[in-house]
């Protein structure tokens, strides 16, 4: 092996190492999606709470209407925001590919489980299973934040994962009271809206 071959190999190794280092420094995209989720579902939870305490006089069907409307609104925002993020610098990095896939899995889990809970509730003519929904959301959020924290080497995101996992059984203690929906709204603000704002603020105009 000649000196030129050795030099070329070293250059290639250095290049690959530089790409790996740059990938780890790439800011996590998708904060806008978390903001949308926190705002839309947080506000819907507050409306649910107001209906539950009879501050808003509507029939029981209103619960289904507000949540289906919230889901449709979020999907519309999601379509726009995903398209926007695809063109952002750093979107193709290993970090953002892994984090994006993890949060997509979280979203699909929530969507599929929501449908499953609705079907079971209809079959057994009981709404008892719907009470596990807030805990299920926070448990899923914990997994999403854990992957994001591991890939981005971000300690503060690990704290979010731990907080989300702790929130799941904590909010279960409020089952049977109307306060569960107000607490759920607060959890969405702390675990989705606020972190989403932080991530958006960390996104530079251009990334390596």
Query: Looking at the domain assignment, is residue 160 inside a domain?
Result: yes
Q: Is residue 21 part of a domain?
A: no
Decide which of 86 and 199 is more confident: 199
Residue 9: which pLDDT band, with cuts at 50, 70 and 90? low
pLDDT digits (tens, 9 = 90+) for 114-128: 899 889 988 988 888
Q: Is residue 90 part of a domain?
A: yes
Let me know if residue 3 belongs to a domain.
no
Check: CB of residue 74 under 8 Å from CB of residue 41.
yes
pLDDT in tens, 155-190: 999 999 999 999 999 999 999 898 999 999 999 999
How many folded domains does the chain comprise? Answer: 1
User: Which range marks the domain in which residue 155 is found?
Assistant: 29-202
* Residue range 90-111, pLDDT digits in tens: 777 778 888 888 899 999 999 9
Q: Are 32 and 200 in contact (CB under 8 A)?
A: yes
Q: How far apart are the first and last CA of the chain?
A: 34
Q: Determine, yes or no, domain membership for 51.
A: yes
Average pLDDT of the chain is: 84
pTM of the predicted model as reported, rounded to 2 decimal places: 0.81
Could you tell me the two tokens for 63? Answer: 């619960």
pLDDT at residue 73 greater than cutoff 50: yes
In a domain, 7, yes or no: no
The tokens describing 38, both together, are: 């926190």
18 in any annotated domain: no
| Burial (Cβ within 10 Å: 0-12, 13-18, ≥19) of residue 107 | middle
Where b means 16+ CB within 10 Å and e means fewer, 156-179 reads ebeebbebbbebbeebeebeeeee
Q: How far apart are CA 20 and CA 46, in angstroms?
A: 44
- Helix, coil or strand: residue 55: coil
């Amino acid at each position: 092996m000649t000196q030129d071959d050795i030099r070329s190999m070293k250059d290639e190794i250095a290049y690959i190492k530089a790409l790996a280092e740059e990938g780890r420094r790439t800011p996590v995209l998708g904060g806008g999606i978390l903001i949308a989720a926190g705002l839309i579902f947080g506000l819907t939870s507050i409306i649910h709470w107001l209906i539950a305490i009879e501050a808003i006089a509507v029939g029981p069907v209103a619960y289904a209407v507000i949540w289906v409307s919230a889901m449709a609104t979020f999907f519309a925002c999601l379509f726009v925001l995903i398209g926007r993020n695809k063109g952002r610098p750093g979107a193709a990095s290993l970090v953002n590919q892994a984090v994006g896939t993890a949060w997509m899995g979280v979203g699909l889990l929530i969507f599929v489980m929501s449908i499953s809970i609705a079907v079971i509730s209809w079959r057994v003519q009981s709404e008892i299973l719907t009470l596990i929904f807030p805990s299920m959301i926070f448990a899923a959020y914990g997994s999403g934040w854990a992957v994001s924290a591991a890939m981005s080497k971000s300690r503060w995101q690990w704290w979010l994962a731990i907080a989300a996992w702790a929130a799941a059984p904590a909010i279960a203690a409020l089952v049977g009271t109307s306060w569960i929906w107000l607490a759920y709204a607060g959890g969405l603000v702390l675990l989705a809206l606020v972190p989403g704002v932080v991530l958006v603020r960390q996104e530079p105009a251009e990334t390596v």
